[in-house]
Amino acid sequence: MKYFLTKPPANGEFGPESVIDYTTISQTISYVHFVFDHWPDDLVTRYPEFLASRKLIDALVASKCTGFIAESCKVGKSVWFAEREIGNVRILPKFFRLIVGSNGENDLVVIDSKLIVSLKAKQVIESLSCENVRFFALDEIGTAMDRPKFKFPDK
């Protein structure tokens, strides 16, 4: 299966209702409240999390993509975003926290906090409002047991 390193835009920050444990080396997040700084793509990130719109989740499920669970989260607009949107009545779409495993046999995989997707998942993502998401082809991808077996692109 062909895989791609995925670079979604970082459209904001964790909000005050996020539940984050900073006592571990890599922060552990049990609940995500995400505050957008500008209108989001259907796939966004804020280390170490990935968020997907309901439209993207539905499309991934319809395409039978594997390797993820959609978990409820809260989203909102930053003050800066709200000021720029004065007079605009657009409502943010529903977003979900994308919980992704590390098994290289799936269509979505997270390795070293990087989202890796199969060609099928890439095509689903590209079919939606994800013009700021970038993809880089990978030579190969390992399973969770032999993680460092893939190469990142030079660029």
Query: Domain containing 63: what range?
Result: 3-149
Instruction: Report yes or no on 18 lying in a domain.
Output: yes
Instruction: Report yes or no on 133 lying in a domain.
Output: yes
Query: CA nearest 96: which of 35, 54, 40, 64?
Result: 54
Q: State the greatest distance between any 2 C-alpha atoms of the chain, in Å, as a whole number.
A: 52
Where do the H-state alpha helices sit in 3-149?
54-62, 79-84, 119-126
Instruction: Report yes or no on 54 lying in a domain.
Output: yes
Separation of alpha carbons 92 and 54, rounded Å? 11
Please count the structural domains in the chain. Answer: 1
Q: Please name the residues in contact with 21: beta carbons below 8 A apart, sequence gap of 6 or more.
A: 27, 28, 29, 30
Q: Which of 11-15, 57-61, 80-84 has the lowest mean pLDDT?
A: 80-84
Instruction: Report yes or no on 67 lying in a domain.
Output: yes
Flag whether the pTM goes above 0.85.
no
- For residue 140, what pLDDT band results from cuts at 50, 70 and 90? low
Whether the pLDDT of residue 146 is over 80: the answer is no
pLDDT for res 38: 86
User: Tens digits of per-residue pLDDT, 10-34?
Assistant: 989 999 988 988 887 777 888 999 9
User: Tens digits of per-residue pLDDT, 85-134?
Assistant: 776 767 889 999 999 988 778 999 998 889 999 999 999 999 998 889 99
> Average pLDDT for residues 30-39, to the nearest whole number?
90
Instruction: Report yes or no on 154 lying in a domain.
Output: no
- For residue 76, what pLDDT band results from cuts at 50, 70 and 90? very high
Instruction: Report yes or no on 155 lying in a domain.
Output: no
pLDDT for res 115: 94
pLDDT for res 39: 87
Q: How many residues does the chain have?
A: 155
pLDDT for res 153: 46
pLDDT for res 155: 43
Instruction: Report yes or no on 137 lying in a domain.
Output: yes
Separation of alpha carbons 141 and 130, rounded Å? 24
pLDDT for res 141: 53
In one-letter notation, the amino acid at residue 100 is V
Query: CA nearest 97: which of 33, 140, 144, 36?
Result: 33
